[in-house]
Amino acid sequence: MLSLRPIRRFCYSAAAAISSTDSPAAVSNRVLNQKPLEEPALAKLKAERDPEKLFNLFKANARNRLVIENRFAFEDTISRLAGARRFDYIEHLLEHQKTLPQGRREGFIIRIIMLYGKAGMTKHAVDTFNDMHMYGCKRTVKSFNAALKVLTETCDLEAIKAFLSEVPEKFDIILDIFSVNIIIKAFCKMSILDKAYLVMIQMERLGIRPDVVTYTTLISAFYKNDRWEISNGLWNLMVLKGCLPNLSTFNVRIQHLVNIRQSWQANEVMLLMERIGISPDEVTYNLVIKGFGQAGYLEMARRVYSALHGKGYKPNVKIYQTMIHCLCKGGEFDLAYTMCKDCMKKSWFLNVDTIHTLLDGLKKNGQLDKAKMIVTLAQRRMPPFSSKQLSIFDSLLSRS
């Protein structure tokens, strides 16, 4: 917490400087003659676009607590330097940060590990973890997990195996459920699903109980690889062991049902969620609307869209996109136009194919004025549609 003492001292000094004997004119002259306050370092960092100037500015404020304790300023600076491929600057800044008093805090070192990871500097991230004792910083499973997460982003299976086999024993680290979930997610990403499943089984034997994240990650991966029978088995195993599915788990199941064109079953799962006290979110509604739209049940899609409002949600751009696509597919171009106009006025824009379909339908229905309104709104998009995309809209309207 920031101390109030400097603020109080400043207020007291200011009050003493303007004594009761001073005239208003004298006070006014003194205030006008004061030098303007220098722009805060955080504002300067945010505004600077030149990589070299950004580096020098951050370096000049390397001991400014307002800068180094500000997570956004730190991450934004490293991100922009990485975008400019100035990895030498990143190394210079982050290596210096380790020498500060904050370098003795594990949370601070974890931030440096993750920043190296975001910059794609994996070796620097792992070396930072290995060298933590050199900064007087205690190493726990939290920093281990940070280094592991960075390493798994490389999808280098041999490097991951070596890290897992050597590092925990070397530093007396005991893996936790977060470690297991990082490993399983990485193996799923690499499509080695059987190995990911075996990790869960092996860890459970060692006393690490899988949680809902573990099961959800595996269920999603097996569904995506068309191994639905294993996903369904994992769902049953999860419930049997007393680990209840959450919103994300249900959305994964609904996504699968929509993908295999089982829209009614997807709707039933959403109703089941409500019965057991799990509120569907915008993702859930969007998936069910999409499912009914794909199957040609436009009226059901509209009912789900109405239910969304009844539950107090407001449609986001993805729901607008899905619903307008369904309406165009069903030939309801008037309602599609109204929704599209409402969406665009919120600075949300549909994809080019959906806009093209809507324009084509409005033109065929003789509603050229409405089509022109959509094109006018599309021209205001920021960042703008490409000139080629806008020319496609214009040529559609000008075509006889």
What confidence score (pLDDT) does residue 58 get? Answer: 84
What confidence score (pLDDT) does residue 67 get? Answer: 79
pLDDT average per 10 residues of sequence, the chain (400 residues): 36 36 44 44 80 86 79 86 93 90 91 95 96 92 97 95 95 96 96 96 93 98 96 96 96 97 96 94 96 94 92 91 95 95 93 94 93 92 90 82
Q: Three-class SS string for the chain?
A: CCCCHHHHHHHHHHHHHCCCCCCHHHHHHHHHHCCCCCCCHHHHHHHCCCHHHHHHHHHHCCCCHHHHCCHHHHHHHHHHHHHCCCHHHHHHHHHHHHCCHHHHCHHHHHHHHHHHHHCCCHHHHHHHHHCHHHHCCCCCHHHHHHHHHHHHCCCCHHHHHHHHHHHHHHCCCCCCHHHHHHHHHHHHHCCCHHHHHHHHHHHHHCCCCCCHHHHHHHHHHHHHCCCHHHHHHHHHHHHHCCCCCCHHHHHHHHHHHHHCCCHHHHHHHHHHHHHCCCCCCHHHHHHHHHHHHHHCCHHHHHHHHHHHHHCCCCCCHHHHHHHHHHHHHCCCHHHHHHHHHHHHHCCCCCCHHHHHHHHHHHHHCCCHHHHHHHHHHHCCCCCCCCHHHHHHHHHHHHCC
CA distance 85 to 89: 9
CA distance 288 to 64: 51
Q: What is the pLDDT of residues 7-27, one digit of tens each?
A: 333 333 333 333 344 444 443
What confidence score (pLDDT) does residue 357 get? Answer: 94
What confidence score (pLDDT) does residue 64 get? Answer: 82
pTM for the whole thing?
0.81
Yes or no: say if 379 and 390 are a contact pair by the CB < 8 Å rule. yes
